[in-house]
Amino acid sequence: MIPKSNLNDSLELVDEVETSRTYKILIGDSKGYIEGLGALKQAIYKVLSTERYEYPIYSFNYGIDIESLIGKDYDYVRIELKRRIEECLLEDERINSVNNFSFEREEDVLKCTFEVESIYGNIILNKEVEF
């Protein structure tokens, strides 16, 4: 005999947005929390400062592969840097798009400026790469 249940079989799935609240990172001081756009800026800084595939604690989808650009041609580095920044930042579901890239070369350093459109608003950021 199969037991009968009064449970309703119609379940409703609800997508929840994860909180962006995190510890605030300050050099030499780590007091407090940060949320929203500030937390996203911090997450972007962290992901762009972490070499991809380097640390076993992170998945292969976390970080950016910069070391392989060392010694490459300027035009290649410029094109690849744009692609790699977009690829690593778009892993974060809070980010809608990455665009308006501009590049400035100073000897062996490429300075990249770009805009991140997120659910919290837009941010203009920089990333420098030695090649």
Return d(Cα 123, Cα 40) in angstroms, integer: 9
Concatenated DSSP letters of 19-32: P--EEPPBTTB--S
Non-local CB neighbours of 49 within 8 Å, separated by 6+ positions: none
Return d(Cα 49, Cα 59) in angstroms, integer: 15
* 46-91 pLDDT tens trace: 999 999 999 999 998 899 999 999 989 999 999 999 999 999 999 9
Cα–Cα–Cα angle for 58, 63, 67, nearest 5°? 115
pLDDT score at 79: 95
Torsion of CA 64, 70, 76, 82, to 10 degrees: 20
Residue with tokens 């420098």: 128
Inter-residue contact 48 to 40 (CB < 8 Å): no
pLDDT score at 31: 72
- pTM for this one? 0.76
SS3 35: coil
